[in-house]
Structure 1
Amino acid sequence: MAKLSELLSSPGLETANVVTGSLPAREVSDVAMVDDPARLHKVPEGAVVILTPSLLAQAQAYHLDIWGRTVAERGAALLLLHGYHPEKVPRSATRLASRSEMALACVPAETDAARLVRAIGRVIDAGSEDALARATAAARALAEAVEDDLTTAELCALAAQAAGCPVQARRPQDGEVGAPVLIDGVEVDHVAVPDAAGPGGDLARIVARLTAETAARVTIARRRAEELPIRSRSQLLSELLTAGPQHVIELVPRARSLGLGIDDWHAVVQLDVDTEELSEAQRFGFGETLGTVVMQAVGRSGAGHGEGGGAGWHLAYADGTPLLVRTWGRNPGEGAMRKVRAAVETVHAELARRMPERRVRFGIGSVHETVEGLRASWAEARAALLSDDPAHGARTPEIVVFDDLGLHRMLVEWYTTHTARTAVRDLLAPLERLGPDKCAMMVRTLRVYLDQQGSLSGTATALNLHRNAVSYRLKRIVSLLDVDLDDPDQRLALHLACRAWKLS
């Protein structure tokens, strides 16, 4: 496609007299010569519409208004009156064209019609060829830069030089062409092409997308190189949190050798992100990208910056979901939780900006000492997240601090004992043999039923199920567990087990 201004200044159209003042920033994509008003309803968008001398010879002033409105509604870029004197064009027609962002021009009757059409066609074809050549040049320049460690802004400058159009590293404004820099579905940057006129209409879209994709590949390569020494610490920290007691003893010396302040003071922040629509492989990639964004955001918060040794913020993963570990070389005192929460608020604001469609929640554990305290803080962070249960109809804040939960803390402290964990596991073992998904459904049904004090109607409402479906599930649960829900002791044990089950 070509710019309207380029078209009217090209050879063969130098005699055209524009009567609408300044030219609109329009693109021209086709040409149509019309000698029958019925054909005006079929002109393509972006076309130059040429009204023939024979048609104009029988036209009254109001006809130009009607025909102009018709082609303007079709999206024509230029209405060209062949053999019509500029002074005869009614002001109503020029005003209508200006309001519709369509140019209106006249060419003398002696201008050869075939030559006129060929001249317009050459400009349109040349515009497409030029756009393709410039896009190819940008693609070649960006492909050669993949191995270089360039920022998005530097890649934009490279693409702009090759394509001959402005390319900038920022969010596109209204009316601008742009593309996000995506890494595993997370927007980490943006590319904007401000001038999308003329052949740059298609060119802008191609260059923006090519630049954004190249920026994503370069960013991934840079992060992998930067994170190699960090990854080993992150993986070890993840193992320390999730390993069994005997394995933890074996991991502690390795953690010390890598500079992790494992004997220091820790607070864990667990993230909870809604990723149900993603496959397992997609969740893993999404989790890694999310972890990188989280660490960048917490770094910008300034919390823990400049601390030596193993102190500061660290990244770990549990089931593919990132979690943050804040470590201090000494007891941080009473103000620690306030500072941790402030850092988490910075992370939450950044994720809300980048992923407005996803709800991200944070559970913050208390400050504890040594590796045992690290694991205890993680259990508390998960417990804080458990306080948000849709079955209860309440929506808790996005940031939940374990210390603020009151009586809910007692459940975690009870469950951290070996006796309690064994009792819960043994009691619910028949349900766990059904498989993870069915077990989760059964445990949740039983827990809500007990929360609703044995009300089938209340449970059905909370779970959005029919009363008969709840009754059927409960009969099967009672049969599998071989329990009596009318026995107060058994009911209490089941209630505690269901509430503690999600901590396991």
Structure 2
Amino acid sequence: MLSAPGLDGLRHLAGPRAGRAVRGVRLVEDLRDLVGQPPGSLVVLTAAATRQGTGYRLDVAVRDAAAVPVAALVLTAFDGPLPATATALAERGAVTLLACDDGPDLAQLAIAAERALAGSAADALARAEAATSAVLRAGGDPERIAAAASQALGVPVRAGLSGFSAGTAGPSGAPEAPDGHLARATRLVLEVAALAASGGHADDAPVRSRSQLLTELLIAPEGQALRLAGRARALGLSIDAWHIALRVEPTALAGPERYAVLDAAGPAAARLLRSAGGPDWHSARADDALIVIRTQQLDPGREGLRAAVAAAERLLGHLRARFPEAALRCGVSGAHRGPLGLRTAALEARTALLRTPASASPVTAHDAAGLDRMLGEWYSSDAARQAVQELLTPLLALGQKRAEPLVRTLQSYLDHRGSPARVAEELHLHRNAVSRRIRRIETLLGADLDDPQQRLALQLACRAARL
């Protein structure tokens, strides 16, 4: 049905919302003239004709309209209610019944409908003006921008990873864009939409600044991170409060496609979580993942952790529906306080994902009571990371592909108190292969695995290195 400036005062009463194609506009002052209208007409009944259509006369008028068939009947000065029989006849005859309640100027209504049908330059300009205004009021959110542009243009507009597109689905499933003057107006509106979405709302500027600073806090060396805390306080970040981190990863994507999803998901995640009220939410980027931080002044306790997991599930459901190809997963940390606690929370959220198979639940929480929590807090400091690097340097220098099985073997060997048989069972190796690996590890590290202090240091280092 028609959608254009000048026609937004029409109200749907009955019949299909998207019915027959409209081929012309006719003004009718007597219901008896309905039978002579061209098929596919949008018939506007004057107030006098609408008053004739009471009771069974309206049923007869709907039957006559269906017999033509007309596309739609517009009842002017209609105060309803619509009889059930007329509603049923409209549905059965595929006639759309509309009402215009505000004492319309019938000439202007007819002209607006004719312009919409003819695709005139004036109509296209009016649509573009209305759509541009609606897009700029949409607050920078791509989904809201697309909905606003669709309503004002009368053309379906969709938001995707590559930007905005418009048109109805053709026989092949690909979108078929409008043509003529409306096509030019649509292209103009899509360009404005892209600019509005990339820049966001003016009110989001402080949010973007805080997001950039959070990213620096998460990736900077410990000493620099502490110096950045002052800037964070100046921007209104409650950096000294309690933090829970949500880490969102598009596990099925890499390269530009991964970055495109993360760029789009960050603002969407922050808006969705903030709309629910409660604690502060901020987003950042680190290690090719989206980090969303939940901050509040008091220790959230177990209830706060459960609320964070529920928020993560709600968020991931929304993002998975929007980016189904990305296979998004989310790890949730425990609660930690202060600038270094923020970094620990981000590390725990990452550990939660590493410890959980991709085939498991898409949202996984860190074990708040386990050894990994203590190791995470210890390993979040630069001194601890440097100590781990120094202990394992001969192994790590081999490169990730060769070092990872050696570190895993060493950790298992130390966990099982030096039993090659238990290591072979856990790692699905032959006992002789385990013994050869252990001898090679001892040679590379120059370590004595019978020394209790060296064993403990290496055991902690192996676990921390895999966080």
The offset of 1:381, in angstroms, is: 2.3
Q: Which residue of 2 aligns with 1:501?
A: 465
Q: Please point out which of 237, 241, 250 is paired with 1:264.
A: 241
| Cα separation, partners in 2 of 1:452 and 1:431, compared to 1, 3 Å | closer
Amino acid at match of 2:265: L
8 A Cα contact 2:250 2:261, kept in partner: no
The offset of 1:346, in angstroms, is: 0.8
Indicate whether 1:286 and 2:261 are aligned.
yes
CA deviation string 1:473-492 (max 9, x = no partner): 88876654445678887565
Q: Which residue of 2 aligns with 1:168?
A: 156
Q: How does 1:247-262 map to 2 (within 5 A)?
A: 247-262=224-239
Indicate whether 1:412 and 2:380 are aligned.
no
| Cα separation, partners in 2 of 1:409 and 1:232, compared to 1, 3 Å | same
The alignment's TM-score, normalised by the length of structure 2, stands at 0.56
Q: Secondary structure at the match of 2:325?
A: coil
The offset of 1:427, in angstroms, is: 1.6
Amino acid at match of 2:269: V
Q: Please point out which of 363, 375, 382 is paired with 2:331.
A: 363
CA deviation string 1:370-397 (max 9, x = no partner): 223323322322332232257xxxx443
Indicate whether 1:448 and 2:408 are aligned.
yes
| Cα separation, partners in 2 of 1:408 and 1:332, compared to 1, 3 Å | closer
Q: Please point out which of 316, 335, 354 is paired with 2:322.
A: 354
Q: How does 1:377-392 map to 2 (within 5 A)?
A: 377-388=345-356
Q: Distance in 1 between matches of 2:406 and 2:120?
A: 65
The offset of 1:337, in angstroms, is: 1.4
8 A Cα contact 2:168 2:175, kept in partner: no
8 A Cα contact 1:181 1:215, kept in partner: no
CA deviation string 1:333-379 (max 9, x = no partner): 54211221221111011122122333322222222332233233223
Q: Secondary structure at the match of 2:239?
A: coil
Q: Please point out which of 422, 447, 451 is paired with 2:386.
A: 422
Q: Distance in 2 between matches of 1:400 and 1:276?
A: 20
Amino acid at match of 2:263: E
8 A Cα contact 1:274 1:358, kept in partner: yes
Q: Which residue of 2 aligns with 1:156?
A: 150
Q: How does 1:74-153 map to 2 (within 5 A)?
A: 149=136, 151-153=145-147
Amino acid at match of 1:368: H
Indicate whether 1:297 and 2:272 are aligned.
yes
CA deviation string 1:85-107 (max 9, x = no partner): xxxxxxxxxxxxxxxxxxxxxxx
Q: Which residue of 1 aligns with 2:287?
A: 319
Q: Distance in 2 between matches of 1:335 and 1:420?
A: 31
Q: Secondary structure at the match of 2:326?
A: coil
Q: Distance in 2 between matches of 1:294 and 1:247?
A: 28
Amino acid at match of 2:197: I
Amino acid at match of 1:371: P
Indicate whether 1:344 and 2:312 are aligned.
yes
Q: How does 1:20-35 map to 2 (within 5 A)?
A: none
Identity of aligned residues (%): 34
Q: Secondary structure at the match of 2:324?
A: coil
CA deviation string 1:290-309 (max 9, x = no partner): 21121133234x142xxxxx
Amino acid at match of 2:272: A
Indicate whether 1:183 and 2:170 are aligned.
no
Q: How does 1:186-201 map to 2 (within 5 A)?
A: 193=168
The alignment's TM-score, normalised by the length of structure 1, stands at 0.53
Q: Distance in 1 between matches of 2:193 and 2:230?
A: 38
| Cα separation, partners in 2 of 1:432 and 1:193, compared to 1, 3 Å | same
8 A Cα contact 1:456 1:471, kept in partner: no
Q: Distance in 1 between matches of 2:246 and 2:187?
A: 37
Q: Distance in 2 between matches of 1:203 and 1:232?
A: 38
Q: Distance in 2 between matches of 1:168 and 1:418?
A: 53
Q: Distance in 2 between matches of 1:210 and 1:485?
A: 70
Q: Distance in 2 between matches of 1:474 and 1:209?
A: 67
Indicate whether 1:246 and 2:223 are aligned.
yes
Q: Distance in 2 between matches of 1:182 and 1:471?
A: 54
8 A Cα contact 1:271 1:323, kept in partner: yes
Amino acid at match of 1:149: L
Amino acid at match of 2:156: Q
Q: Distance in 2 between matches of 1:192 and 1:299?
A: 33
